[in-house]
Amino acid sequence: MPETKRFGDLLPDWRPPVGAPYRHARGQYAGIEPLDATRHASELFRANSVDDSIWDYLPYGPFHSAATYHKWVTSVTVGASDPLFYAIRESGTGRAAGVASFLRITPTMGSIEVGHINLSPALQGTRAATEAMYLMMRQVFGAGFRRYEWKCDALNLPSRRAAQRLGFSFEGVFRQAAVYKGRNRDTAWFAITDKEWPALQSAFQAWLAPSNFDATGQQLERLSDLTCLVRVADDPEV
């Protein structure tokens, strides 16, 4: 019978990152840039006004006037250090069409989370949306973090499917983890570790390559078929 392990592996070469990465990044289809009310709020408000359901699983919204949305963007960005919000700009149109953030930033443990993801209907399901998530991921592991987390309402199956498609491994459900908009939230947890990142980065690069899309823009190989080779645990609900 193998000997029971008493302690985790020593990490003699690991050093905590200095802080969260928070800077512009550009890809082929999308860019990410620190969210700013003056530069982004009006475009995001217009993009988000098409469908109120995009706010269903967020603790705020929907916003029914440009002024209230501008006020919210200001409240989460001016002087903020956690969360750190990004605007997602779609390269084809040049317009801001979504937001996402780094949060629960804990450099001493090498852990950081992606959250507050809100993609306008026009951005959902696009190469730009996937690349924006990849750009944030690349910043995290490039800065020296060990663990990148994704959490969502356990009833939010589209978010759970997205996490798995992007290569996050399922880690379980925390029951009655939060209350928002007067509702209970059981929280599904996912994560990627630095050991998994090199293989996942190769998967993203292969999927994002122009050669992976035909003349009509249809993908030839699915990202989920590439990331499933890296994930250590799948979500049984999706």
CA 183 – CA 57 distance, rounded (Å): 10
- Domain segments of the chain as ranges: 25-227
Per-residue pLDDT of the chain (238 residues; tens, 9 = 90+): 677 888 999 999 999 999 899 999 999 999 999 999 999 999 999 999 999 999 999 999 999 999 999 999 999 999 999 999 999 999 999 999 999 999 999 999 999 999 999 999 999 999 999 999 999 999 999 999 999 999 999 999 999 999 999 999 999 999 999 999 999 999 999 999 999 999 999 999 999 999 999 999 999 999 999 999 999 999 999 9
Q: For residue 38, give both structure tokens.
A: 């003056």
Strand, coil or helix: what is 25?
strand
CA distances from 124 to 118, 127, 147 (A): 9, 9, 25
First to last CA, the chain: 36
Q: For residue 172, give both structure tokens.
A: 């379980």
Q: For residue 74, give both structure tokens.
A: 């200001």
Angle between helices 37-48 and 66-77 (to 10 degrees): 130
Q: Which CATH architecture has domain 25-227?
A: 3-Layer(aba) Sandwich (3.40)
pLDDT (0 to 100) of residue 6: 87
**Within its chain, how far is the Cα of 37 from the centroid?**
21
| Contact present, 140 and 84 (Cβ < 8 Å) | no
CA 21 – CA 195 distance, rounded (Å): 19
pLDDT (0 to 100) of residue 1: 60
pLDDT (0 to 100) of residue 3: 76
